[in-house]
Amino acid sequence: MISYELIGITVLWLFLYGYLIVASIDFGAGFFAYFARLTKQDHLINRLISRYLSPVWEITNVFFVFFFVGIVGFFPDTAYYYGSALLVPGSIAVILLAIRGSFYAFENYGSKESIVYLFLYGATGLLIPASLSVALTLSEGGFIAEQNGIVSLEYLKLFTSPLSWSIVVLAIVSVLFISGSFLTFYASRASDQSALKLMRTYALFWSTPTIIAALTAFIYLSQHNERHFQNMMDLWWLLALSVGFFMSALWLLYSGRRYGLAFICVMLQFFCAFFAYGIGHYPYILDPYITIQGGATQESMGIALVIAFIGGLCLLIPSLGLVFKLFLFDADYVKGKK
């Protein structure tokens, strides 16, 4: 029998991965929309982007809250350490999310198009991943100090650490790569040749920085947290798979066919890397303060949460399936006929 805290962290990790994908599409789309406006190519892709995003932007936001509430529920100690340390970066992320979410709705359901809204929408799309990635950096340990029961974040260390910057860069370029390859696929579903061409260029462009940033972050991780690095090296085959999927995606994008498969390869690439990273982190949630076993909630609550999870997923998966069916795989909708 697998322990409930292990189920908990696995499911939460899956949800974080889900957020990584859907949020990347969203964040990147905001940036591309703004960039296209600057380079006067917005007529090509804006309608495509808003057709996909309008029905799903709210769902993206829930993924995040879901992960957050879940981790605090399963591991209440995380609230104490991360909550105390992340007060400022966390609040900034909340404010950015607030600006982004509401301005999206204001622009798309309400007022006329405004370049200010679009700028805020595009800029926050890059700043949010940067501010959220701070949490990942913190989990490596060495940035939080606890004195007399007061937990605080050591900003100087954080801002001068090459690890934290390499993670920020990785987060941003991955967002653009994931988003670019998804929107390429979406444009090909819509048989929108001009959008397809533009998005394909974006996707190909951001692929190289993604792999470079991943390697850089990996190298800095080896210097910062030897244990984590070693654990990940033991999972070398997962990392190799990830690189393999990356190469396949790149090849498919480059040769200009089967964009759906290309996007699946990108998803698998990040899936392998993300799980190699996560499994390598075991047993720590926050090195060295919180471990999965030590920080877990009461058993009865853990089991109740797992049951709620299963029940909730039974509701969610068919509903998400419906959304995909209606807005992603319905060719008429994607092409703008409905």
Partner 1 sequence: MEIDPVLWSRWLTGLTLTFHVIFATVGVSVPLMIAIAEFVGIRKKDPHYILMAKRWTRGFVISVAVGVVTGTAIALQLALVWPNFMQLAGNVIALPLFMEVFAFFFEAIFLGIYLYTWDRFRNPYIHWLLTIPIVAGAGMSAFFITTVNGFMNQPEGFVMEAGHFAAVQPIQAMLNTAAPSKVFHVLTSAYLTGAALLAGVAAFTMIRKGATAYYKKSLHLMMGVVLIFGLLTTIAGDVSAKFLAEHQPEKLAAAEWHFETENGADLIFLGWLNAEREVIGALHLPKALSFLAFGNFNAEVTGLDEFPPDEHPPLLVHYLFDFMVSIGFVLLAVSLLYFLFVLWKKRNEHNKWLLRAIVACTPLAFLGVELGWLYAEVGRQPWIIRGYMRVEEAATSSPNVMPLFFLFLLLYIVLGVLCVIVLRRLFRNNPAEAEFESYMQRKQVQSTEKGERS
Residue 121 interacting with partner 1 (CB under 8 A): no
Give φ, ψ of 188 to 5 degrees: -70, -35
Question: Encoding tokens for residue 331?
Answer: 């060719």
Which of 191, 208, 293, 319 is in the footprint of partner 1 by CB under 8 A? 319
Which of 61, 188, 216, 242 is in the footprint of partner 1 by CB under 8 A? 61
Say how many residues touch partner 1, by CB under 8 A: 67
Question: Encoding tokens for residue 111?
Answer: 């007022």
Which of 219, 320, 328, 335 is in the footprint of partner 1 by CB under 8 A? 320
> How many residues appear in the chain?
338
Tell me the C-alpha distance between 138 and 134, whole Å. 6
C-alpha radius of gyration, the chain, whole number: 20
**Minimum separation from the CB atom of position 139 to partner 1 (A):** 15
Stretch that binds partner 1, among 17-25, 65-73, 169-177, 255-263 (CB under 8 A): 65-73
Which of 3, 38, 43, 98 is in the footprint of partner 1 by CB under 8 A? 98
Left, alpha or beta for 275 (phi > 0: left; psi -120 to 50: alpha)? alpha
**Minimum separation from the CB atom of position 319 to partner 1 (A):** 5
Residue 80 or 165 with smaller CB distance to partner 1: 80
Question: Encoding tokens for residue 88?
Answer: 């400022």
Which of 4, 19, 74, 182 is in the footprint of partner 1 by CB under 8 A? 74
Tell me the C-alpha distance between 262 and 121, whole Å. 27
Q: What is the CA 251 to chain-centroid distance, rounded?
A: 23
Stretch that binds partner 1, among 17-25, 83-91, 267-275, 276-284 (CB under 8 A): 83-91
Residues between 277 and 316 that touch partner 1 (CB under 8 A): 297-298, 300-301, 304-305, 308-309, 312, 315-316
Cβ count within 10 A of residue 335: 14
Residue 73 interacting with partner 1 (CB under 8 A): yes
Which of 38, 62, 261, 331 is in the footprint of partner 1 by CB under 8 A? 62
Cβ count within 10 A of residue 336: 11
Cβ partners under 8 Å of residue 279, min gap 6: 231, 235, 238
* Site map (CB under 8 A) of partner 1, residues 215-254, x = contact: ----------------------------------------
Tell me the C-alpha distance between 105 and 45, whole Å. 18
Residue 88 interacting with partner 1 (CB under 8 A): yes
Which of 55, 162, 256, 294 is in the footprint of partner 1 by CB under 8 A? 55
Strands 144-147 and 284-286 turn out to be unpaired
Strand residue runs (E) in the chain: 144-147, 150-153, 284-286, 290-291
| Chain contacts with partner 1 (rule: CB under 8 A) | 54-56, 58-59, 61-62, 64-66, 68-70, 72-74, 76-84, 86-88, 90-91, 93-95, 97-99, 101-106, 109-111, 150-152, 297-298, 300-301, 304-305, 308-309, 312, 315-316, 319-320, 322-323, 326-327, 333, 338
